[in-house]
Amino acid sequence: MKILVAIKQVPDTATQVKISGDPKAIETSGITWIISPYDEFAVEEALRIKEKRGQGDVVAVSLGPDRVKEALRSALAMGADRAVHVNDPALAGADTLLTARALAAVVKQESPALVICGRQAIDDDMGAVGAQLAELLGWPCASWIMEETVDADAKTVRVGRQVEGGLEVFDLPLPAVLSAQKGLNEPRYPTLKGIMGAKKKEIKDVKAADLALGDAAPQLTVTTLEALPPRPPGRIIQGEVKDAVKELVRALREDAKVI
């Protein structure tokens, strides 16, 4: 059974994000890049499916510049068998739909039985690619899954989604697209031998032309990024408690207009 895992490389969660001189982008110098954590759950789950079945092929795929190879290499170090890197400057400003179109083209070339991705990337939090990919492929899709079981014949997958107060269970025919929620699993650490082994695994470079994408213009473009306005300083009300309380109530009512 072939499983394709779509991953995105994002800034480390501890990054202090700054807007760059071009207000449409963030300052990327000095950023440590990681696999988006929800996508790590996806990689882990794909590896577990393969291990449980005793055979299979896990292919990691990602879109982005050269540095994305490190994220793919991390997935290979965890145990993925090979990787596909959609690396083309023409796709630099890709929105979610263009990303999904590129992934759909890769999926058609690879024809996996299952695609797993994270429920959203932790940088832009759009959370759209998984569903868009399924739509483009005409495949069923279950998002935010907490558990899954692929049947013995690899014909269907049963998934559990977390809903308020319980679990919602679905059966989906394969091929299908799943997106991983936190709690699906605990991703493994790449072992040192895994890291060394990853150097020998294939990362296939793919250009937009190889995917026959045609019009590669994004429909969604970033106009500007704005930092949050600095928080106004707090105010300490001095004086006797009796008067201070009166002033506090007045300030909450008249200045802050919250009561």
Q: Which amino acid is at 200?
A: K
Total interface residues for other proteins by CB under 8 A = 15
Position among 54, 152, 153, 189 found at the interface with other proteins (CB under 8 A) = 189
Residue 179 found at the interface with other proteins (CB under 8 A): no
Contact present, 86 and 122 (Cβ < 8 Å): no
Residue 180 found at the interface with other proteins (CB under 8 A): no
Residue 200 found at the interface with other proteins (CB under 8 A): no
Token pair 């558990």: residue = 147
Residue 205 found at the interface with other proteins (CB under 8 A): no
Residue 181 in 3-state DSSP? coil
- Residue closer to other proteins by CB (options 14, 152) is 14
Sequence-distant (≥ 6) Cβ neighbours of residue 10 within 8 angstroms: 33, 34, 35, 36, 121, 122, 123
Residue 85 found at the interface with other proteins (CB under 8 A): no
- Residue closer to other proteins by CB (options 199, 231) is 199
60 vs 83: CA distance, rounded Å: 5
Contact present, 203 and 72 (Cβ < 8 Å): yes
User: What's the min distance (Å) between Cβ of 190 and other proteins?
Assistant: 5
Nearest by Cα to 59 from 103, 112, 133, 9: 112
Sequence-distant (≥ 6) Cβ neighbours of residue 174 within 8 angstroms: 113, 114, 150, 154, 155, 156, 157
Residue 193 found at the interface with other proteins (CB under 8 A): yes
Residue 65 found at the interface with other proteins (CB under 8 A): no
Residue 37 found at the interface with other proteins (CB under 8 A): no
Contact present, 157 and 17 (Cβ < 8 Å): no
The kind and range of the H/E element at 4 are: strand 2-6
Residue 252 found at the interface with other proteins (CB under 8 A): no
Residue 50 found at the interface with other proteins (CB under 8 A): no
Q: Which stretch binds other proteins (CB under 8 A): 45-53, 92-100, 109-117, 193-201?
A: 193-201
Position among 122, 190, 218, 247 found at the interface with other proteins (CB under 8 A) = 190
User: What's the min distance (Å) between Cβ of 47 and other proteins?
Assistant: 15
Residue 74 found at the interface with other proteins (CB under 8 A): yes
Q: In angstroms, what is the C-alpha Rg of the chain? A: 23
Position among 166, 199, 223, 259 found at the interface with other proteins (CB under 8 A) = 199
Binding residues vs other proteins (CB under 8 A): 14, 70, 73-74, 77, 189-196, 198-199
